[in-house]
Amino acid sequence: MNIAKNIENAIYFIDVMKSDLETVKSAKQRDFKIDMINAFIVLINTIEALQDQSKLLKVIDSLLLERMYRDMFRYAAEGVPMHLSRIFYEIRQDIQNPLSAQKEKLVSFLFMEELTYLVNNNRLTDETVKSASGDGWSVLVDEKLNEFKEGIQWN
């Protein structure tokens, strides 16, 4: 079944029905045809929305499964008992955590990593501390997120 082709055909028939409206003499028949056309349009829009939603749900499922795998692998490597309820709890907590807080946590981590790098390489000076900035990391995170979202393959 080719949904795109079926939608294309339905749009063609909607256009035919619209052009036939001019020949309908009865107001009752005209109103019925208009209602039918509108119902078909709503149906097509709903199908297209469901297709988009299905793609998004597949991406979410993929991300959740990968997160579950990584957590289970980490627990196994650490010798910590694995409980799915714990993994789901952590995922729920991550989802409920505001986006701004998640980003701030990441930016703070990157900033601290930069400072640690400077210390470990004996490059920590007043100048390097002043040039190190969470704002720069914030811009970089935004840019990389946008690049990723623009380049993702929705299949």
Q: For the residues 13-30, what does the mean pLDDT come to?
A: 89
- pLDDT tens-digit readout, 90-121: 989 988 999 999 999 999 999 999 999 999 99
Residues 111 and 127 in one domain: yes
Print the domain residue range for 143: 98-155
Residues 92 and 102 in one domain: no
Domains in the chain: how many in total? 2
Q: For the residues 73-78, what does the mean pLDDT come to?
A: 92
- The answer, yes or no, to whether residue 1 has pLDDT greater than 80, is no
- The answer, yes or no, to whether residue 155 has pLDDT greater than 70, is no
Distance CA(97)–CA(89), nearest Å, equals 12
pLDDT, averaged across the chain: 87
Residues 28 and 72 in one domain: yes
Residues 4 and 55 in one domain: yes
Residues 57 and 82 in one domain: yes
Query: Which of 59, 77, 96 is at the close of a domain?
Result: 96
pTM over 0.85: no
Q: What's the half-sphere exposure (Cβ side, CA atoms, 13 Å) at 8? A: 5
- Residue 141 confidence class, pLDDT cut points 50, 70, 90: very high
